[in-house]
C-alpha cells in the first residue's frame, strides 16, 4: 500500500470558482493565474478546468510553453516578463505576452528585433515591488510606440492592500494615481484587479481582471471566509492515522515535548509532516478533521508525522481518515492558526504527495 498522504483536486470546484469571478466582473476578461504550478494544484488539469477563462498568467517560461504544447490558444502572460534578450525569440515563437516593469526590458526589445509580442506595461502605484515610475512609464511607452517594439499594449498595476479591511482609501489612491499617469493612453486596455479587488472594488475591474487565490477556493480576506464568498475548496489534503498512543498524566508529545497532558488521553499519529508541505510552525490546537469530526494538532510537527487528539472522536483509531485542510476544513482556518496564509500552504505542497484530480 502507498503512503496514505494525498491531495484530492476537485476540478469542478475550480470551474465553479471561475464562475464566481464572472459573476463579480461580468464585463471584464479573466486572466486566470496559474503561477507556482497553479498554486500547487497542478498546471495542466487546472488549466483544463479553467479553459473558459480568457487568458492565463504565470511566471515560468517552461510552464507557458507546456500550456502551448498542450494546445491552449489563450493569451498567456509572463507576469515578471523576460530576463534576457535571448528569451524574446521564444516568446514570439510561442505567442507569449510579457510584462514590462523596468526600462532595461525596453532596451532588450531594442536589441532583439523580436517585436511581435503583446506587452503589459506595469506601473508602480504604491506597491513598490515591480513597476515603472511615472517618468519611466512615459519614456518606456513613448519608445515602444515610436519604434513599434510591440504587437499590442495593455496597461497594468497591482494593489497592495485590497485584501485588508478599511483600506478603501489606499486602493482608491492607487487607482487615481494609475489613472492620472495613464490619462493620455486611455485608449489602451488595462488590468488592475486581483482576487480581493475583484470582489470588493468593482470600480477597479477594467478590461482584464487577474484572479488567483479565489480560483482555488480560499478567501483573499481575513474578515470573510471562502464559504461566505461562495468559493469551494479545490484541494483537500488528507492522510490516515498510522499509530495510536495511550498517555498518562504529565506525558509529553513529540520533539521537545511541547505538549504535556493534564489528564490521561489517547492520541493518534498521522502520516503527514512538514516534508509533505504541512507547516512545521503550526501550534497545538491547529484544527484537523478525524473521521469528519473536528479535533486538534498536538505538539510539534515532525518531518513525516504529526500528532492529533483522539479525545471524544467516535471510532477513532488505526487507519482513521484525517483531513488536514480542504472540504469540511477551510485552508484559511488552518493557515490562520499556523500564523501564515492559504497561499503558502497550497504552494508548499510537496512533490511526494500524490495528487488525484477529478471532476
Write the DSSP assignment of 231-289 as a string of letters. Answer: ----EEEEEEEEEEEEE-TT-EESGGG-EE-SS-EEEEEES--GGGT--TTPPTT-EEE
Asked if 149 is an active-site residue, the reply is: no
- Residue 1 in any domain: the answer is no
Query: How many distinct structural domains can be found in the chain?
Result: 2
pLDDT of residue 106: 95
- Residue 4 in any domain: the answer is no
pLDDT of residue 165: 86
Pairing status of strand 265-270 against strand 96-100? unpaired
Structural contact between residues 37 and 308, judged by C-beta atoms closer than 8 angstroms: no
pLDDT of residue 1: 64
- Do 176 and 39 share a structural domain? yes
pLDDT of residue 113: 84
Q: What are phi and psi of 173, to 5 degrees?
A: -65, -45
Of the residues 191, 218, 245, the one at which a domain ends: 218
Q: What are phi and psi of 15, to 5 degrees?
A: -65, -40
Q: What is the pLDDT of residues 117-155, one digit of tens each?
A: 999 999 999 999 999 998 899 999 999 999 999 999 999
- Residue 190 in any domain: the answer is yes
Distances (CA, A) of 192 to 120, 130, 144, 179, 216: 11, 14, 21, 11, 20
Structural contact between residues 181 and 156, judged by C-beta atoms closer than 8 angstroms: no
Residue 69, burial from CB neighbour count under 10 angstroms (0-12, 13-18, 19+): exposed
- Residue 228 in any domain: the answer is no
Distances (CA, A) of 345 to 153, 215, 289: 35, 15, 17
Asked if 185 is an active-site residue, the reply is: no
Any idea of the CA torsion for 69, 74, 79, 82, to the nearest 10 degrees? 50
- Residue 280 in any domain: the answer is yes
- Do 163 and 33 share a structural domain? yes
The Cα 68–Cα 72 span in angstroms is 5
Q: Which residue positions form the known binding site for substrate?
A: 129, 303
- Residue 39 in any domain: the answer is yes
The Cα 221–Cα 332 span in angstroms is 9
Q: Which residue positions form the known binding site?
A: 129, 303
- Do 184 and 249 share a structural domain? no
Of the residues 154, 185, 218, the one at which a domain ends: 218
Please pick, among 23, 113, 147, 255, the residue that the annotation labels catalytic.
255
With a cut of 50, which residues of the chain have pLDDT below it?
Answer: none
Please pick, among 23, 35, 51, 278, the residue that the annotation labels catalytic.
35
Q: What is the pLDDT of residues 301-312, one digit of tens each?
A: 999 999 999 999
Structural contact between residues 185 and 298, judged by C-beta atoms closer than 8 angstroms: no
pLDDT of residue 138: 95
- Do 183 and 308 share a structural domain? no
- Do 252 and 204 share a structural domain? no
- Residue 225 in any domain: the answer is no
For residue 29, give the 3-state DSSP assignment.
strand
Domain that holds residue 320: 235-358
Amino acid at each position: 500500500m502507498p503512503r496514505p498522504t494525498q491531495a484530492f483536486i476537485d476540478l469542478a470546484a475550480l470551474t465553479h470558482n471561475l464562475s464566481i469571478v464572472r459573476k463579480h466582473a461580468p464585463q471584464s476578461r479573466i486572466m486566470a493565474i496559474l503561477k507556482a504550478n497553479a498554486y500547487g494544484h497542478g498546471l495542466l488539469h487546472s488549466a483544463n478546468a479553467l479553459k473558459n477563462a480568457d487568458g492565463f498568467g504565470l511566471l515560468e517560461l517552461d510552464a507557458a510553453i507546456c500550456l502551448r504544447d498542450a494546445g491552449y490558444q489563450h493569451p498567456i502572460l509572463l507576469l515578471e516578463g523576460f530576463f534576457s534578450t535571448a528569451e524574446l525569440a521564444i516568446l514570439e515563437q510561442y505567442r507569449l505576452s510579457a510584462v514590462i516593469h523596468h526600462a532595461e526590458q525596453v532596451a532588450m526589445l531594442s536589441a532583439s528585433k523580436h517585436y511581435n509580442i503583446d506587452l503589459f506595461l506595469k506601473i508602480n502605484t504604491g506597491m513598490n515591488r515591480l513597476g515603472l515610475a511615472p517618468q519611466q512609464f512615459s519614456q518606456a511607452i513613448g519608445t515602444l510606440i515610436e519604434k513599434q517594439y510591440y504587437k499590442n499594449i495593455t496597461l497594468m498595476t497591482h494593489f497592495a492592500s485590497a485584501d485588508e479591511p478599511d483600506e478603501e482609501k489606499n486602493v482608491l489612491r492607487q487607482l487615481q494615481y494609475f489613472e492620472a499617469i495613464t490619462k493620455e493612453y486611455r485608449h489602451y486596455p488595462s488590468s488592475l484587479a486581483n482576487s480581493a479587488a475583484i470582489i470588493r472594488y468593482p470600480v477597479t475591474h477594467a478590461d482584464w481582471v487577474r484572479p488567483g487565490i479565489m480560483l482555488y477556493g480560499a478567501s483573499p480576506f481575513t474578515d470573510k471566509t471562502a464559504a461566505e464568498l461562495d468559493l469551494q475548496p479545490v484541494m483537500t489534503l488528507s492522510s490516515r492515522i498510522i499509530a495510536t498512543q495511550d498517555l498518562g498524566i504529565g506525558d509529553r508529545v513529540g520533539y521537545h515535548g511541547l505538549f504535556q497532558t493534564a489528564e490521561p488521553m489517547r492520541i493518534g499519529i498521522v502520516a503527514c509532516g512538514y516534508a509533505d508541505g504541512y507547516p512545521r510552525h503550526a501550534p497545538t490546537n491547529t484544527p484537523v478533521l478525524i473521521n469528519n469530526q473536528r479535533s486538534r494538532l498536538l505538539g510539534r510537527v515532525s518531518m513525516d508525522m504529526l500528532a492529533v487528539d483522539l479525545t471524544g472522536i467516535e471510532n477513532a483509531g488505526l487507519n482513521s481518515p484525517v483531513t488536514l485542510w480542504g472540504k469540511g476544513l477551510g485552508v484559511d482556518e488552518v493557515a490562520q492558526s499556523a500564523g501564515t496564509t492559504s497561499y503558502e500552504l497550497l504552494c508548499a505542497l510537496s512533490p511526494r504527495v500524490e495528487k488525484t484530480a477529478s471532476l
